[in-house]
Structure 1
Amino acid sequence: MSEAQAVDAAVEQVTQEVKDVKLENGTAPGAVNGTANKAEGAISFKDAFKAFSKFGDPKSDGKTITLSQSDKWMKQAKVIDGKKITTTDTAIHFKKLKSLKLGIDDYQKFLDDLAKSKKVELDDIKKKLTSCGQPGVSSHVTKSPAAAAAVDRLTDTSKYTGSHRQRFDETGKGKGIAGRKDVVDASGYVSGYQHKDSYNKSH
């Protein structure tokens, strides 16, 4: 096989793999930008369930999901918003199924029960769950102004006092180990004396 033929074969294999993945995710091969059958950025419910059922549990086979994993998924998808649906609601309905881990069929029953109880459309919940991205990835993480102000206040070294002040120079830069350890000073000055070399020698 020539080099050109080998390259063609490799390209054909990759193309076929991409088609297979699209078919597996329920996307038609001829779909424009891969969004023919679903919302942009969404994946199938089954794939999302599998991803979140493995989140934080490397030993999981992706077939069952715990309440904790479900809550993380719902928080990321903004299904749990602290108003309409809370973690208390999810705990009550999850435990109705009398199992610590739910398979995908039981999980659908849990969602159906939750939606009816809270008067929310099941399709809306599923839409959010399939379009929230990969586990742990949130595109809406913003620091509130109050939190930002608190962090700024706590990291302002000019307001530090006592021994903490000694750990930073005038610009607020940390002195490293010199600011944390008592380094022996053999200059003859008393420890802690801050006016070293300021004596006017003309006296």
Structure 2
Amino acid sequence: MLKNNAELRGNCLRPSMPTAALTLDSAAAFEEFSSFGASRHPIGSPGPVPHHAQGIAMDSSKFAKLCRDSGLIDNETFTLIDCDIVFSKCKKVGKRKLEYDDFRRALAEIADIRQCHVSHVVAMVVSAAPEINGTLPHADELIDKLTDTSLYTGMHRARFDPVTGQGRGLAGRETISPTADLSAIVSRHNSATTLGSKASAANRALSPPPHERTAASSSAGPSVFDRLNNVKSFTGTHKHRFNSDGTGRGKAGRD
């Protein structure tokens, strides 16, 4: 593809392809570059592109990519700035994208700038295809050790089938975990419950009887709560503000 583009760039006066064929192929190239990277036309999807471009439009970034990948931008007679100028000149007023008829006018403008016949510009576009410039996946030795089951060692190797690479499940383990038997869990739970009951009984045996705790607390005098709520224990001016039954005396209890 690069060799063909170089030959086209080197000789602009070479006899061109038939006009009808170039028209159909330019429509296919227009659709190919316009839909590059779109979800409806994934990168590298197989199958021919329909030779029509109705309802399809090309934005400025896709147009610049087309000019770069086809070799139209040589940074001498035609630069990226010229590409932007042609795009702005050929798109319809109020539109942000090129339609197919605008695209054909843009190719004619490029031919005038490059001082070349428009058929050769179309031929360069037709001979190109969108190039993928992204990062490609690279598998190194470290990734192989993590993903290739044939390189596993020790107990990890025993857990995978050597032919298919599928996991062997319980059959790939040397010993089955004790928790696989629920009866063992139940027996441990019962043992823990029994130990907890014995501990509670021991704590109750060490605690003093309730009457002993009450007697000890009563010998120390009334609690703070009793002193704050029992009017019989009030003293001074607070004692004169309450009757013997605990009701307040109102203004009569004030000095």
Query: What range is the shorter-chain TM-score in?
Result: 0.3 to 0.5
TM-score normalised over the length of structure 1: 0.43
TM-score normalised over the length of structure 2: 0.35
